[in-house]
């Protein structure tokens, strides 16, 4: 685990909110010289604290999207079954997130589809055909009041 000083914490916080900042602007916001700021950012990247940079796509602007949170229980808690399920979710384009969780079920998925027919097909032909799956519970998202992944830069 990496221990961070206040400047590095401020760099991370600022980059999370505005990942497209130039190094000069980032340095100004965190109160460092541009060269000192760049060295810190490079060190945070080198140590894996900063894993990368990405564009946040508003899929709803491309076409209407339905978000479904799906809990999945496996028939058995065997390592081979969990890995097989995860491999299947890796290849399913509707699955944006797959989390192994503790509790009554083994997985929580964030699924995005264009309409109910697409979700029904995913439910029946992707999840429903996996021999490892014992239970599926779907929770349809009505609105999202907070999503830190989608902060505007």
Whole-number pLDDT of residue 58: 72
Predicted local distance difference test score (pLDDT) of residue 129 = 97
**Residue 108 token pair:** 């929580």
Residues 6+ apart with CB under 8 A from 50: 12, 15, 41, 44
SS3 assignment for the chain: CCCCCHHHHHHHHHHHHCCCCCHHHHHHHHCCCHHHHHHHHHHHHHCCCCCCCCCCCCHHHHCCCEEEEEEEEECCCCHHHHHHHHHHHHCCCCEEEEEECCCCCCEEEEEEECCHHHHHHHHHHHHCCCCCEEEEEEEECCCCCCCHHHCCC
Please tell me the predicted confidence (pLDDT) of residue 153.
45
22 neighbors 30 (Cβ within 8 angstroms): no
Write phi, then psi, for 91 (nearest 5 degrees): -95, -5
User: What average pLDDT does the segment 12-31 reach?
Assistant: 92
The residue among 56, 53, 21 whose CA lies nearest residue 38 is 21
* 80 vs 144 pLDDT, higher one: 80
Q: Do 108 and 99 touch, CB atoms closer than 8 A?
A: yes
Where residue 111 falls among pLDDT bands split at 50, 70, 90? very high
Res 2: pLDDT: 66
């Amino acid at each position: 685990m990496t221990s961070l000083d206040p400047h590095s914490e401020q760099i991370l916080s600022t980059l999370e909110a505005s990942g497209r900042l130039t190094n000069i602007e980032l340095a100004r916001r965190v109160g460092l010289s541009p060269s000192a700021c760049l060295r810190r950012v490079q060190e945070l990247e080198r140590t894996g604290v900063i894993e990368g940079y990405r564009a946040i796509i508003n899929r709803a602007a491309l076409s209407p999207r339905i978000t479904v949170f799906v809990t999945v229980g496996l028939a058995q808690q065997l390592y081979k079954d969990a890995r097989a399920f995860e491999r299947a979710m890796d290849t399913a384009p509707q699955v944006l997130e797959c989390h192994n969780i503790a509790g009554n079920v083994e997985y929580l998925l964030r699924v995005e589809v264009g309409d109910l027919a697409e979700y029904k097909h995913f439910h029946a032909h992707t999840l429903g055909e996996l021999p490892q799956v014992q239970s599926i519970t779907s929770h349809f998202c009505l609105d999202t009041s907070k999503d830190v992944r989608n902060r505007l830069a």
